[in-house]
Structure 1
Amino acid sequence: MNPAPAHGPVAPPAPAVRTVLGDIAPADLGVCDAHDHLFLRSPQLPGQELADAGAAAAELAAFRAAGGAAVIQWTPYGMGRGAAELPRLARESGVRIVAATGLHQAVHYAPEVLERIGADPAGLFVAELTEGIGGSGPRAGMIKVAGGFHGLDRHARYTMAAAAEAQRATGAAIGVHLELGTGALDVLDLLCGELAVPPDRVILGHLNRSPDLAVHQAAAGAGAYLAFDGPSRAHHATDWRLPDALAALADAGYGDRILLGGDTTTAGARSVNGGPGMPYLLRRQRARLELALGEELVTQCLTANPARAFAADWAGTASGHRVTG
C-alpha cells in the first residue's frame, strides 16, 4: 500500500480582485464604481483629455467623501491610462483602483498605435494582466473591448478573439463597450458562443443607453453582467428610465447581474470641473434608485455584484503579488 501523501491536495487559488496595489479578497472591494475613467485620451475627444493627475486625485477624493471605496477604470491600451500614476493615487486616496488592458474601437487610435501591437494582441493582454503594464507597471485587472452600433466589425471580432484567448489564460473578466448600448446579443453570440467565454466572465457596458428590457433580460439570463454606467446625456436614455429597467431585471430574478458606474470620459464632465463626475453615482443616482428598488438591492449592486464580477482565479499568474485587506 502506498503511504498517504504528507500533504493533502493543493487547493485552487481563491478568487481575487486584481487592483493596482495587488490582489484583494472580493469582500474587501467595498462600494464600487464599476465603470469609470481617471485617465483617457482619444482623437475623438480633442481638448477633453483626462490627463491631469491632480484632477484625478481630486475626483477620487470627492468620490471617497461620497462613500466610494473602489473604481474600475476601463481605459484600455493606447488611450492614456495613466498606469504609472494609478498606484500612487490609490494609496493616497484610499480608493481601490482596477486598471484595464484590451483595445477600444479602431477609431480611438492613430494607426501607428495599433501597428505597435503586432499580430499578438492576446499576448499583450496576458502580459499586462500577469506581469504588469509596460512590463513593470501595475497589473491590469480586467480586459476591455468594444462592439459597434448594432454590429461587430472586423476590428471588434479580432480584439474579442484576442480577449477570449487572454481570458482563458488568466480568468480575467471581459468588459465590453456597447456603442449606445446596442449589440449586446451579438457580443454574447461571439464571445460566449463562438469563442466559448463563460458568460459570467462578460460585463456588458452602457446598457442604460438602450433601455430595451427584453434584451437586458436575455443578456442577464445568459449569465452576463449588465453595467448601467453614467448619468444621462442628450442622446441617451434619460435617468428616469433607469429605475424601471433595473426593477424589471430584479423582478425577473436578475438583481445579482446588475453593476453601476459613472463613465466619466471628458475633462468637462469631472465633478471638480463642475460636471457630475464620479460622485454623482453615490450623491444622486444611489438615492434615486433606492426609492424605486430599495436600499438592499442597490447596496448589492454597488458591492457584492462587482466583487463577484471582477474577481478571478488568475490562472497562470505569478505568485508574490497578493495583498490582503
Structure 2
Amino acid sequence: MVTAVRPAVRTVLGDVPGTELGICDAHDHLFIRSTQLPGQELDEADAAEAELRAFRALGGGTVVQWTPYGLGRSAGHLPALSRATGVRLVAATGMHQAVHYRPGAVEEVRDRLAELFVEELTRGIGGSGPRAGLIKVAGGFHGLDAHARHTMAAAAHAHHRTDAPIAVHLELGTAALDVLDLLCGALDVPPHRVLLGHLNRSPDPVVHRQAAAAGAFLVYDGPSRAHHTTDWRLPDTLTALAEAGHAGQVLLGGDTTTAGARSVNGGPGMPYLLRRLRPRLERALGAEVMDRILTENPGRALAATWRDGS
C-alpha cells in the first residue's frame, strides 16, 4: 500500500501540519546582517528571544524568518529559540539582491545556487543545521535584473525538486507581475507556491487584484515608515481583496530588519502585528476573516509535499 504524503510546514524543529501554526507572523527577521544596514545588525540571540517572548505573550504561534543564505541567519540558534519560547520558527534558504552582500560573496556560490537551496531544504543549513522551509529571492525596482533572474531560476529548480514555497522580496512593492511572469510562466512554478512580499509598499489595487487572480499569495508586511503609505491604506486594500474573493490568499508580517525597530529597543517589532495592526484590520474585515488570514492562510501557503531533492 502506498501511503499518501500529506502537506506539511517545515519548521526548524521538524515538519508539522499547517493547521498547527497558530497565529503566524508570515514575514519577519530574528537575525539579519546586510551591507545596506551598517550598525543595525540583528545578531543578538538574547534580543531575538525577548522579541519572540513578546510576540508569544500576545498569542503568537509561528514566525517565518525570511533571511536567506549569506546574511547572518544564525540558523544554529533557531531550534533553541523555538524550544525556549514555544514559538514555531520557519527558516529560509535563497538569495537576496546582490547589493546586500559583501564583495565576492555572490560569485562564490553563483554557479551552484540550485544545489545549495536543495541542500538547505532537505539536509540542513550549513550541512548540520535545521532545514529551511522556504526559498527567499528578490526582484528589483519595477523590473528584474540579471541577478534576480538567475536566483529565481535557481529557486524554481529547487522548488521542482522539493516542492518548497518561494517567497519574493518586491523592491518597494513593485514588479509583482514581472515576478509572476518569470516564475509561473517561463519557469513553471505553480502560482499558489509563490508568496509576494512588501505589496503594501506599492498599494496599487489593480496589480494586487491581478496577482491574486493569478493565484499567488499576497504578503503585507511591516508597519508604516515615513515614505510608505502602508497601515492607513491596508484596511481598504484588504477589504477590496476580500470582497473580490481573495481573502484566502492574504498573509501578514512584521518585517523587522533593524535593531532599532525591535520592540525591546522601543520600536514596533513583532508585537505590533497583534497589538496594533490586528485590531485595526478586525474593524474593517471582521474577526473571522482576520483569524483566517493569521492562522489558516499561512498554513496553506507554507505547507509542501516535501521531496528529498533527488
The one-character-per-residue Cα deviations of 1:88-115 (angstroms, maximum 9, x if unpaired) are 0000000000000000000000122212
Secondary structure, counterpart of 1:120 in structure 2: helix
Alignment match, 1:289 = 281
Look up the match of 2:18: 26
**Equivalents in 1 of 2:4, 2:293: separation in Å?**
27
What's the counterpart of residue 148 of structure 1?
140
Corresponding residue number in structure 2 for 1:5: none
Structure 2: how far apart are the matches of 1:12 and 1:192? 26
**Structure 1 runs of 4+ with >2 Å offset:** none
Residue matched to 1:202: 194
Aligned equivalents of 1:29 and 1:121: distance in 2? 29
Residue 312 (str. 1) matches residue 298 (str. 2): no
Secondary structure of the residue aligned to 1:143 is strand
CA distance in 1, matches of 2:205, 2:4: 38
Q: Cα offset for 1:116? A: 2.3
Alignment of 1:81-160 (within 5 A): 81-160=73-152
Residues 1:192 and 2:184 aligned together: yes
- TM-score, length basis structure 1: 0.94
Q: How does 1:173-184 map to 2 (within 5 A)?
A: 173-184=165-176
Q: Which has the larger radius of gyration?
A: 1
What SS is found at the alignment partner of 1:239? coil
Residue 54 of structure 2: aligned partner: 62
Taking the aligned partners of 1:145 and 1:249, their CA distance within structure 2 comes to 25
Q: CA deviation at 1:202?
A: 0.2
1:204-219 map, 5 Å: 204-219=196-211
Tell me if structure 1 keeps the 8 A contact 2:118–2:309: no
Partner of 1:77: 69
Amino acid across the alignment from 1:98: V
- Number of aligned residues: 310
Q: Kindly indicate whether the alpha-carbon contact (under 8 Å) linking 2:120 and 2:127 is maintained by their aligned counterparts in 1.
A: yes
Q: How far 1:77 sits from its partner (Å)?
A: 0.2
How far did 1:317 drift? 5.9
**1:253 aligned to which of 245, 260, 275:** 245
Distance 1:168 1:28 in 2: 25
| C-alpha deviation, 1:302, in angstroms | 0.3
Q: Deviation of residue 118 (structure 1)?
A: 4.1
Unmatched 5+ stretches in structure 2:
none
Measure the CA separation in 2 of the matches of 1:272 and 1:128.
Answer: 31
The sequence identity of aligned pairs, in percent, is 70
